[in-house]
Structure 1
Amino acid sequence: MKLKGIHKVKRRLASGEIRIHYYAWRGGPEMQAAPNTEAFAAELLKHRAESAPAEVKTLDDLIDAFEQSPAFSALAEKTQDGHKHSFREIRKEWPKLPLKLTQQRGMKAMIRKWHHTFAANPRKADQMLFSLSRVFTFGIDEEMIEKNPCTGIDRLYTGSRKESVWTPELIALFREKAAPHMLLAFEMAIHTGQRQGDLLLLTWKQYDGTHLSFEQGKTKKRVRVRVHSKLKAMLDALPKDKMRILTNSRGRPWTKDGFKTSWGKECARLKIEGVTFHDLRGTFITERRREGSTTEQIASITGHSIAEVGRVLEKHYLATDQQTSDAVILRMEKNI
């Protein structure tokens, strides 16, 4: 059976051998039994039973139980950080709220009112609503409560990045004037459509000269992307004496905050505004669709579901894509 939430860490021994260590969850106890055995499954069950909270009486207790659970440990670090920030606000609003009261009539109205107090910052408001809803969903899964009072509450943020794609002019500007270590990150993103976090963690072992292999941190999906000839020329010309492919100006691995800061400074220096590094992912999707690739083909590279690619194209990027709409008429003229 497939066991969820297991955390694997690869370590290189002094002999050069690579050994994989298994943990019951991220930050949890190390597993002693051999993987893929009944003993391993039994040991995991024992660790999870021991980590389960003895009693959950309040919303605070439910949040504590979620934060200590394998379900929370399995989340990406960025997602965990977002939840933790939200939980601080939620605890301030409802300190020691009896859990049974969250199941009674009127709780949804209270949550909706609280949600709207953050209307000045709708994205923050929706993040906190999402975190609270996730806690209640955990409670339902663990049979601590029966319903999620957040269900049916509309989100406040309605904006989109439908016009926030990198134009040919911006792409040409970055390629002409960006620092080499920033340009490599740019080319990796625009040629693969992968997320920033997955690109920063990419090692040379994941490149076989033809393809780049990813295990996406957010979705845990495995994707294999054929390297474009232009990107291949860049990669093949680089020294392979570092573990990571992308490094900073000092040849050291990027930290998440370090890259974010350096990227912002580089865009400011080049006077590039209105687009982000993440928009390179949307630009990849848009350009591949313009070229004629299907949503299925795009999804196989980006790691989205087919439905998600369709939503990205419809809601965020192609809604105001003049080139795409013009192409319809141009094709019509050829057939008349």
Structure 2
Amino acid sequence: MKRNGRPKAGVGKVDLPLYVSGYRNRAGRAYYYYQRYRGTDRVWPRLPMPFTPHDPEFWLRAAQYERLDAICEAGELSFGHTGHAGQRRPLPHPAKDPAGFLTALAEAHALYEREKAGDHKTFGALIDLFTQHAAYQSLKPKTRQEYDRYLDMIRGVCGDDAVRDLTTVDAQQAIDTFQDRPATARFFRAVLMRLVDFGIPRGYADANVVDKTEKVGADSTPYKPWPEWAFELFFEHARIGLHLPVYSALYTGQRSIDVIGMLRPAPEAEAIELVTHKTGGNVWAPIHSEYRDILVATHTDTALLHLREDGEAWTLAGFRTAWQRELSYGQCDPQKSPATRQAEAKREAADNPARAAAMTRIREAGLVFHGLRKNSVCMLLEAGCTETEVSRLVEMSEQMVRHYSRDIDARRVAKSAMRKLEDGWSDIRSTVLGKARNRLTEG
């Protein structure tokens, strides 16, 4: 997929659009900015670039800046945006009114894309058409949010390109940019394929070239249920503010995004009630007696159920950060500089070696929060619940419950077989071992 402007080398190995430069601070973090005519008396002020070249906002902003112009009036630059027909729309000065400048720039560029869409079957025009259609509007809010991320990326990189000019090679190259992130690559490919499919009967393309790209292999590693030793280590060493979310996930079988958003049930409530983010399904999870004891012991007057140690409610982002930080206790934090993370890891391991060892064992076993959902399913199946009952309780498809039940069924069959062998052993032993003495037990 083509980039707007002539690419040039940037920070690291990333090719940047024309006029975009980057630098790293002392901590090694990369920053980017857009600036024309450096080293001349016509130099522009540095215009900020959001995030990094891996983010869709970066390329969208580059496309917006590309259509900027600046006229020197009375010794001061006056900025404007050039529309599709060549008309100039004035913009606030980026240094005097940064927020107003970016807002006006986004509006001007959106108008430019709509004007251009009237003459060309571009990706930008197709995205506008798709997001106004029921095919997009009927998506679940969470799915729509994910679609928006990739649609913005496609618009930023090739919004002005004709859809029918896209080749399989272009699409494969775009997908390959995410080869180190398989889940992202799969979703990007799915959104691009869906978009082109939507455009075919509307005259944007004759065939879907994305269909010929390589399918990104799914992660075959299943989520593991937590063994008993993991719960013992976690509740012994993990920070107390993470305990209740684990119990809630175990007793309700919900995902972290739904667990953290749970409301505290009334003391007389029979069940935890919620609407899941992924499916929009209504969950009514009866409260287990031991779970009720935990809720009573941790009762507060707050609306939200799960709180930090300081009494403030967890946010999803805050919880996930704390969870990751807890399980990486005693390990080098990849988000920090090498010297800092090594020193911090060494200090943590020295301060609390038992905690560091516990979290290392849990981490190296590949146990994650989502595995608690499998624990919940397995508990219900082992208790004799039907697949339909489990499906309704944890809001999971019966097909997935059946997939989770394979290990449970295998254990059930094995236990049943051993019971039958025990019951008939007095008659069977002689046919297997004859009159052989067992000296190991005799002594």
User: Which of 415, 423, 427 is residue 330 of structure 1 equivalent to?
Assistant: 415
**Distance in 1 (alpha carbons) for counterparts of 2:317 and 2:236:** 25
**Distance in 1 (alpha carbons) for counterparts of 2:151 and 2:279:** 23
- Following superposition, the deviation at residue 294 of structure 1 comes to 2.6
**Distance in 1 (alpha carbons) for counterparts of 2:184 and 2:288:** 38
Q: What corresponds to 1:235 in structure 2? A: 295
Structure 2 portions without partners, runs of 5+: 1-113, 330-354, 422-443
Deviates more, 1:107-116 or 1:281-290: 107-116
Q: What corresponds to 1:97 in structure 2? A: 161
Deviates more, 1:174-183 or 1:83-92: 83-92
* CA distance 1:72–1:292, change in 2 (3 Å): same
**DSSP 3-state at the match of 1:114:** helix
User: Which of 303, 307, 326 is residue 247 of structure 1 equivalent to?
Assistant: 307
* CA distance 1:112–1:213, change in 2 (3 Å): same
- Following superposition, the deviation at residue 120 of structure 1 comes to 3.5
User: Which of 127, 131, 139 is residue 187 of structure 2 equivalent to?
Assistant: 127
Q: What corresponds to 1:48 in structure 2? A: none
**DSSP 3-state at the match of 1:204:** coil
- Following superposition, the deviation at residue 164 of structure 1 comes to 2.6
Structure 1 portions without partners, runs of 5+: 1-52
Matched, 1:83 2:147: yes
8 Å CA contact 1:166, 1:275 repeated in 2: yes
Amino acid in structure 2 at the alignment position of 1:97: D
* CA distance 1:166–1:208, change in 2 (3 Å): same
8 Å CA contact 1:181, 1:247 repeated in 2: yes
The alignment's TM-score, normalised by the length of structure 1, stands at 0.68
* CA distance 1:221–1:77, change in 2 (3 Å): closer
Deviates more, 1:227-236 or 1:137-146: 137-146
User: Which of 299, 303, 308 is residue 400 of structure 2 equivalent to?
Assistant: 308
Amino acid in structure 1 at the alignment position of 2:243: L
**DSSP 3-state at the match of 1:214:** strand
**Distance in 2 (alpha carbons) for counterparts of 1:146 and 1:251:** 58
8 Å CA contact 1:126, 1:156 repeated in 2: yes
Q: What corresponds to 1:294 in structure 2? A: 386
8 Å CA contact 2:272, 2:284 repeated in 1: yes
- Following superposition, the deviation at residue 59 of structure 1 comes to 1.2
Q: What corresponds to 1:258 in structure 2? A: 318
The alignment's TM-score, normalised by the length of structure 2, stands at 0.53
Deviates more, 1:135-144 or 1:112-121: 135-144
| 1:32-60 superposed Cα distances (whole Å, 9 cap, x missing partner) | xxxxxxxxxxxxxxxxxxxxx89583112
**DSSP 3-state at the match of 1:232:** helix
Matched, 1:285 2:377: yes
Q: What corresponds to 1:62 in structure 2? A: 126
* CA distance 1:299–1:137, change in 2 (3 Å): farther
Matched, 1:218 2:303: no
**Distance in 1 (alpha carbons) for counterparts of 2:316 and 2:130:** 25
Deviates more, 1:251-260 or 1:187-196: 251-260
* CA distance 1:204–1:141, change in 2 (3 Å): farther
**DSSP 3-state at the match of 1:335:** helix
- 1:66-215 pair list within 5 angstroms: 66-67=130-131, 79-91=143-155, 93-101=157-165, 107-108=167-168, 110-136=170-196, 149-151=209-211, 153=213, 155-162=215-222, 164-204=224-264, 209-215=269-275
Q: What corresponds to 1:9 in structure 2? A: none
Amino acid in structure 1 at the alignment position of 2:288: H
| 1:89-137 superposed Cα distances (whole Å, 9 cap, x missing partner) | 43455342223456xxxx4554345324533332221121122234346
* CA distance 1:248–1:146, change in 2 (3 Å): farther
**Distance in 1 (alpha carbons) for counterparts of 2:206 and 2:402:** 34
Larger radius of gyration: 2
CA RMSD, Structure 1 to Structure 2 (Å)? 3.4
| 1:214-261 superposed Cα distances (whole Å, 9 cap, x missing partner) | 111111111211111111111123334111111222222222211111
- Return the structure number with greater relative CO, CA threshold 8 A, min gap 6: 1
Amino acid in structure 1 at the alignment position of 2:235: R
8 Å CA contact 1:75, 1:218 repeated in 2: no
- Following superposition, the deviation at residue 69 of structure 1 comes to 6.0
**Distance in 1 (alpha carbons) for counterparts of 2:205 and 2:267:** 47
**Distance in 1 (alpha carbons) for counterparts of 2:304 and 2:232:** 26
* CA distance 1:328–1:216, change in 2 (3 Å): same
**Distance in 2 (alpha carbons) for counterparts of 1:180 and 1:196:** 17
How many residues align structurally? 273
- Following superposition, the deviation at residue 143 of structure 1 comes to 9.4
**Distance in 2 (alpha carbons) for counterparts of 1:224 and 1:141:** 43
